Amino acid sequence: MIYPRTGGILLHITSLPGRYGIGEIGPEAFRFIDRLSEMGQRLWQILPLGDPGYGNCPYNTVSVFANNPMLISFDALIEEGYLNRSDLNGLKKYPVHKYDAKKVAPDRAHILNIVCRRFSKCASEEKKAALEVFCEKNGYWLNDYSLFTVLKDAHDGAAWMDWDPKYAHREYNAMQSARHQYEAAIQRQKIAQFLFDDQWHRLRKYAHKKGVKIVGDIPIYVSYDSSDVWANQELFQLDEDGNMAVQSGCPPDYFCETGQLWGNPIYKWDTHHKSGYSWWTKRLQKLYDMVDIVRIDHFNGFAKYWEVPIESKTAQNGRWVKGPGEKIFDTFFRKLGRKPIFAEDLGEATTEAAVLRGKYHLPGMKILQFAFDSHERGNGYLPDEYPENCVVYTGTHDNNTTLGWFHDDPGTAVTQTADEITEERARVLSYLGTDGSEINWDMIQLALQSKAHTSIIPLQDILGLDSEARMNIPGTIEGNWVWRFNQDLLSDGMIERMRSLTQESGRMG
């Protein structure tokens, strides 16, 4: 398909400002859409919206179908009559510049529990009818997800493989009994998902009114301790007791010299093929119901993927295995039509992924921070080497901010020496023809003026923030996914400058 020349901003919902400890799909989200429009940006790229499990990572969720109830707007709940302002009196004072999940999540869960208990009394007949329609339409995942979350609570948060075996192995009588025993709690989980869906579609409608499309994100893998694996064990490489036989990861790379051990279960691709990729197609369709463009994270894994023995402590001992390739994408496009996709094709399988992308004319990703690691041309990341059919980023959620990258750790070599860093910094300044005093704006301008049909800029780079605003450091757990911004940081001058650069580069849409 043809992509217009356009631009957008990368910012996850959790990073929005607000007084309730975490970014929400409420007033500040609507305000941010206004700012996007003022900057001439036509795309808002977010991270996965799922309910994150251990480590608060949006790429490691309780369900790839369910949305994160922590993002439901309290202000919208008050406006709709589900919540009283006085219900919030007991909330703590939360950090403004980061999401402290240990403090915020329990408080929000308590408030949402109150709301879901009140729903039958407070909701209009129209909303009650809408809930029934939502539950029927989404029953293929919602029934298992809601039961999973309730059983997990009943087992004090233990992973499903450590539950009572009759629940872990989904014995029919045990499942029927649990659905009856926990009926009220299951219904509350369904109501929370409905409330999210209802609020989200109002936000998306407003975005469209402002000329902004939303770019969603679909991780290739799912969490082992998820309703997805628990309810579909036959689709994953597990032994007869439900334990992972192998696990996901990637070989040594820019981010980690021992590779990354992701620890997700590997798919039984033959089983998916026999089913007509039904589970995958439903998953993709569910996301397209919520966003306009889908970024496929680790697209390379569909071409070939890194399979690691379950006993390995690092990813170094893995092996490459051929992925489903054309079979799954032929199915997607036959069943769903030619919907827009951005392919995250970074990593060692780029060559194989390029063949797969090329067949379907899918745009890959170019990262400016990767462009200056060698004296040699031809690494593919310098803008004058780009094809038009690509999406350029100054950096992604896995990169440092541009200021952090330039001043702290520029370069892609894990074992880079101080001299190599100095040389790379010099190459950056020479290529840009700048003194580096506004390196973030230099890189933004470079991205916008490139041949790539789409440019995506992390908000941190527009704000001119350093490493403290980094979203994620791959291969680590602590301190990630917590950054939030203050609307006051996004000044009128920044907005006007971004709009001017966007207009000059022909990306107003």
- Kindly report each contact of residues 113-116 with a partner whose C-beta sits within 8 Å and lies 24 or more positions away, as own/partner: 113/188, 114/83, 114/87, 115/77, 115/82, 115/83, 115/191, 115/192, 115/195, 116/187, 116/188, 116/189, 116/191, 116/192, 116/195
CA distance 416 to 422: 10
Contact 392, 5 (CB under 8 A): no
Helix (H) or strand (E) holding 366: strand 364-367
Residue 207 CB partners (closer than 8 Å, separation 6+): 33, 44, 213, 214
Q: Which of 51, 344, 424, 461 is catalytic?
A: 344
Helix (H) or strand (E) holding 407: helix 402-407
The tokens for 375 are 């004296």
Contact 224, 244 (CB under 8 A): yes
Counted residue by residue, the chain has a size of 509
CA distance 227 to 412: 37
Contact 415, 324 (CB under 8 A): no
Helix (H) or strand (E) holding 392: strand 390-393
Q: Which of 51, 217, 228, 297 is catalytic?
A: 297
Contact 279, 232 (CB under 8 A): yes
- Which residue type occupies 73? S
Cα angle 336, 44, 300 (rounded to 5 degrees) comes to: 55
Residue 323's CB is within 10 A of a number of other CB atoms, namely 21
Clarify whether 344 is annotated catalytic: yes
CA distance 257 to 248: 17
Burial (0-12, 13-18, 19+ Cβ within 10 Å), 434: middle
Q: State whether the Cα torsion 355-350-365-98 is positive or negative.
A: positive
Which residues on adjacent β-strands are paired with residue 6? 454, 508
Q: Which of 398, 423, 424, 461 is catalytic?
A: 398
**What three-state secondary structure class fits 359?**
helix
Instruction: Please give the positions annotated as active site.
Output: 297, 344, 398
